[in-house]
Structure 1
Amino acid sequence: MNRPYNEEEAAVPKANAERAENPDVEDAEESAEGTMSWTVAEEQAGERIDKFVTDAIGNPSISRSQVQEWIRAGHITVASGNVKPNARVAAGDEIVVVFPEPESLEALPEDIPLEIVFEDADIIVINKPRGMVVHPAYGHSSGTVVNALLHHCKDLSGINGVMRPGIVHRIDKDTSGLLMAAKNDLAHASLAAQLKEHSVNRRYLALVYGNVPHDRGTIDAPIGRDKYDRKMFAVTDKNSKRSVTHFDVIERFGDYTLVGLRLETGRTHQIRVHMKYIGHPLVGDPMYGGRSGRTLGMDGQALHAGELGFVHPRTGERHDFEAALPEDMEHALHMLRNR
């Protein structure tokens, strides 16, 4: 796909997205929903359905035998009909997985330290460390932000159910930074509406490879599953959703650039996929970067949710928060400025 720019604002146009815009309420950099679906590509025709689904889910904790059990129980269907684990898929088949309820029907409180940036009777804002999952899901039943919040708060909104109480939006496990949670349904509904209206300020900081040539830009390119690796996502016009990321250059280091990013939509791995698409992948990104960040002392990907702002659901006052960069990312910038 071509990546034309103009001088005033670099713009990567959408690549004929097949679905209408429907911005996610959440930062969908994690994929742990109750339902997943895929359309079988021609090169995948003939695969056993149990292998196809296992590869497509791409979660090491979900085995092929587990998928076979789900097929027998009717949780996995083709064209709304039940199949057997040894059935072969055909090009164009729509495969749907409706995940069964987890064995544990609720997340349990755990005494995990939290860096609290703001808290009152309605809302709590935390600075999430890199490596911490936001809510329990398959393969991550404990040690999450939700487990920590349940121990600290006791009271969280119930709109998202017992496995995701209080969670209004998410950030990826390997992304650090600001995350807000709602303590009651009134707060949750208000914050969710603000996210949908794009009135919440969510700004990320990322260190990327290469010299980004333009001071600011917009990447408008649809994201869907990577046809070569179902565990990853890519810019594609097949089974994709419109995805929009705005960026501005903060500092250039020749072979690296520090950029600020704002999400207009919230797709799985959106920032990581879009920056790779324009030729500037994130430093230390294990999936989309292709190189380790260890030469700069990075212990993971250089992506940080540094700003968060919203209108308080009860008082109507505007709240804006900032979180300092994690230590290793700050150290990497120091190295680049002083080399």
Structure 2
Amino acid sequence: MKYQPAIMSASLGRAWLHDLDYKLEQAAKSGFKGMEIFYEDLDYAARKIGGSDSPSSDDILKAAEHAQSVCEGLGLDIIGLQPFLFYEGLKDREQHEKLIEKMKFWFRLAKTLHTTTIQIPANFLPADQLTDDLDIIAADLRQVADMGAAENPPICFAYENLCWSTHIDTWEKLWDVTKRVDRPNFGMCLDTFNIAGRVWADPASPTGKTPNADADLKESLERLVKEVDLAKVFYIQVVDAERMESPLVAGHPFHVDGQPARMNWSRNARTFMYEEDRGAFLPAEDVARAIISGLGYKGYVSMELFSRTMAEEGDHVPIEHASRGIKAWEKFQERLQLD
């Protein structure tokens, strides 16, 4: 498969402010070929269908059916459904069983969307609610992988480290868990922000960087190319972020008590690639090169974004985000000489 640009539906604007159909139309018009569907978008679309702030499962399935039809008409592939949150490693096993039932519904959603991939971000609940036992974490993930393998067609899972996840916050830990799960339908989503944002960047630091940022990233990427099995990279997300003008600590506008600085940085201040005018400063291209040129990845490249700019009101928001995203893709495609 050749390289194709994708974008997440939520990257085009907030679900409660911007209509899903309109966001999909702007993505296709700008030149995107793939779409990650965010569950929140389906939930809000379902509220319109059912006329309720608590949409039924049937209404959410109707919203998914409609989204699939719109995407098909626009020539957009739905590359995945995300995010299935707060699943693995729970100490509360009753909640674990509730999420197993929820996953069964997500299988129905995935089939309705005509996608075979569900993304699971690594858990970032407080540490007192989670085990750090990697065997238990892997067993939980193996359970849903086996459930997905029994579906027709089989469901795959893209597990993603977040740079603020409680335990699985680096690609190295992500790869360790993926190997422990050891199922053909279980792989990884590699994200340039979440890799560089952990080993290289620190929004709470006055420098914006970790103490040995450049050397640590270089060594980490060399290990990635040497150790990771390309077959386990299901798709990639390419994204940058702003350098904070002041450390993201108490008193900073983005600070929230009890939440990791990297999480609040991620939610408020990501940028598309190459947006230096917006403060982009991560070595995101270096990470992407390691995955594409080093590992040999081919396939969808998702231009993901989370930012305070998505919460602005108005029809111009999805237009501007789609335009910024495809501009980033075009420069990325040129610089990495992608076919």
TM-score with structure 1 setting the length: 0.24
Structure with higher Rg: it is 1
TM-score with structure 2 setting the length: 0.24
Structure with bigger strand share is: 1
